[in-house]
Structure formats: structure tokens, C-alpha cells
Amino acid sequence: MNDSQRQDWDPRAESVLEDQITAYDSMRRRCPVAYSDYLQWSLFRHEDVMRVLLDHETFSNAASHHLSVPNAMDPPEHTHFRQLIEPYFLPEAMAAFEPHCREIAKRVVARLPQTGEIEAMAELGQNFALEIQCAYMGWPESLHEPLRDWVERQQAATLAGDRQALGELALEFDSVIRDLLAERRTAGEAAPDDVTSCIMNETVQGRPLADEEIVSIIRNWTVGELGTIAASVGILVRYLAEHSTLQARLRGEPELLPTAIDEILRLDAPLISNRRVTRQPVEIGGRQIPAGERLTILWGSANRDEAVFGDPDELRLDRDPQTNLLYGAGIHVCPGAPLARMELRLIMEALLAGTLHLALIADKPAVRARFPAGGYSSVPIRVTR
């Protein structure tokens, strides 16, 4: 049996799926570059992940079977699309959207009960993610519930490994986007001046974007945002409900929220993994990996590496932010990081300002999400207002 056939671990084992973070901590110490038939080569160490992120000549992002703009592209094609996308997340764009974002955050918090139990993933995280993403893209409120239903069906199909259902759901989502594009084209000059319309009118290398490219960009922004923002809110709320001292400090010093949010999400990853493909034979962590092999970057492990962070569970507000891989690194660093950071800051500001205390419920523990999702599927907490 050669190196690429040996099963070092089973990512689908129940013990792994029940608590991914603990399982990854163990693998990082025992077998930091591990092979499985499910994920192929999984990278657990910060050092190895950084090497992959910074060397796009050896490690390709073109790991998808479908068009994915610009996520699954390499330079020079990736560069052209990044230049198109990045202006949407510049400080000026964020400043223009911030007042609307703040109002949505306040409305979501205001709908919580005055006092009592809530399920933070559904009532806070998912509601906020749906409403904020539709607002950012310029989509009508009538899409909130259809999108919620689509997300639930997509998550169920992902957990079941139902490839046929996932393919049908992808086509269904793309048809929603195409309908939005068609409405704007029919409206002509009366079309709304929003992010969706702006993307439709972009050019790359002097040509208009093809519909497939427009749909791919919007799909990546929306699907990624709905999942990771909701997961992030669930992680943050649960952590603060468990750590009352930090909760009280952030209520009194909300200016610490940006640093605290990034650090909490370092401890507990909302996005578990990404993929790469080797362009050539390479050695990583003493393992010989052929060309054309799939690598699985495990953010949920790399961001807890003791070699970089010491005690991975220690929350520190004085860490070097450059070591935190929450939004990646290198040329593929998440372009939407400024938007995500602003959204998370504003929802947590609204939650802390609109409540007196958040607490865990002893007989209703949070339920961990299962791969490929990060964070929690359910976060019951008690709210006092």
C-alpha cells in the first residue's frame, strides 16, 4: 500500500463528527498531514496551511468541478476577477452600508423576547444572515423565507451526502439569481441601483461578464455569507453566554468587540475547511504527495495550533492579528472580510446593548454542527432584557 492509499483517519467517524474541534486538535498532534479517501490530504498545522496559502504556483485553487468566480481560480484569471470584486468591500462601500446594517441588527434583536429562552442560531444568526445579505445585494424581503427554506434543504442534503439533491438545489438557486437579473434587464434604466445591478454591468478584460460568471459571483457571496455569518453569530453568542466576565467587559467596552470577535472565531471556526490541488509532486510534513492530489485545509485546526497560539483555548485580545487565519491569507484572502467584520460587530453591539445578560441553559446544551459545517446547529440560551 503506497502513501496515497493509507487511511490515517476517518473524517466521517462519529467521534469526529460529534466534536470536530477536539478531533482536529488530536490529529494535529498525532498526524498533522493525514490521508483519507474522503478528504484526501488534510492539513492540520498552521505552518503547513500558510505554506499552501502563500504558494499558488505549487498549490492550485482550481479544485471545483463547476465554475466558481473567483474562488476556484488561479492567476492570472483570478487576478482580473479580484480586481473587479474588491471595490465592493472598500471602506467607502462599507461606510455607505453601515447605517442600514445597524438598523437591521437592531430590528433582529428587538424581535427577541423580553426575557426567556431563545435558540440563537435560528432566531438571531439565521435571521440576521438572511436579512443582511438580501439588504446588501438589494433583494426584496419576499426572498427571506424562500432563502431560509433553501438553506435548510441544502444543509440537509449536504449532511446526507445526497449529490442529486445538491445538484438540483444548485440549479434552483441559480434560477433565483437569473430571475433577479431578468427583472433588472426588463426594468432597464428603472432597475434599482444596487450591488446586484452593479455586478451585472461589470466588465473583465474589456468584455461584459457572462451570465454564468455573474451567477457564480452572486452565488459564492450569498451561499457563503448565509452559512458563515449565521454560524459566527451562534459561536459568538454561545461563547459570551458561557463567559460572563468577558460578556460584562464587552458591554462596558464595546470598542473591544472587533478584536474579541476575531479571537473567539479563531477558537471555534465558523468555516471548517477549504480545498486546494497540488500542481506538482510536493513534500509536506514528511509526506510525499503526488501532483493532482486534493488538499483539505482545516481552518478549525490551523487556527488552534499550539506552535503559534500556545493554549488554543486561551482567549487573548493582544494577539498578532496576522496569525489568525479566520479570513485566510495570501492572494485568496476573503475579499468580503470587511463586510463580515462590520456585520458581526454591529449584530453583537445591538445584542449587548439590547440585553442585560445572556446565559447558557444547563439542561439544554448547544449542539455541534457536523462537517462540512462549522459552529453549532443549535444554541439555546436564556436572554434577560
Domains parsed from the chain with CATH numbers: 14-384 (1.10.630.10)
Question: In a 10 Å sphere around its CB, with 0-12 CB exposed, 13-18 middle and 19+ buried, how is residue 177 labelled?
Answer: buried
pLDDT tens for the chain, 385 residues long, are 344 458 999 999 999 999 999 999 999 999 999 999 999 999 999 999 999 999 999 999 999 888 899 999 999 999 999 999 999 999 999 999 999 999 999 999 999 998 899 999 999 999 999 999 999 999 999 999 999 999 889 989 988 889 899 999 999 999 999 999 999 999 999 999 999 999 999 999 999 999 999 999 999 999 888 999 999 999 999 999 999 999 999 999 999 999 999 999 999 999 999 999 999 999 999 999 999 999 999 999 999 999 999 999 999 999 999 999 999 999 999 999 999 999 999 999 999 999 999 999 999 999 999 999 999 999 999 999 8
Q: pTM of the entire structure?
A: 0.95
CA distance 360 to 247: 12
Annotate 250-308 with DSSP letters as a single string: HHH-GGGHHHHHHHHHHHS-SB-EEEEEESS-EEETTEEE-TT-EEEEEHHHHTT-HHH
Task: Give the model's pLDDT for residue 1.
Answer: 37
Task: Give the model's pLDDT for residue 5.
Answer: 57
CA distance 33 to 41: 7
42 grid coordinates: 488534510
Task: Give the model's pLDDT for residue 2.
Answer: 46
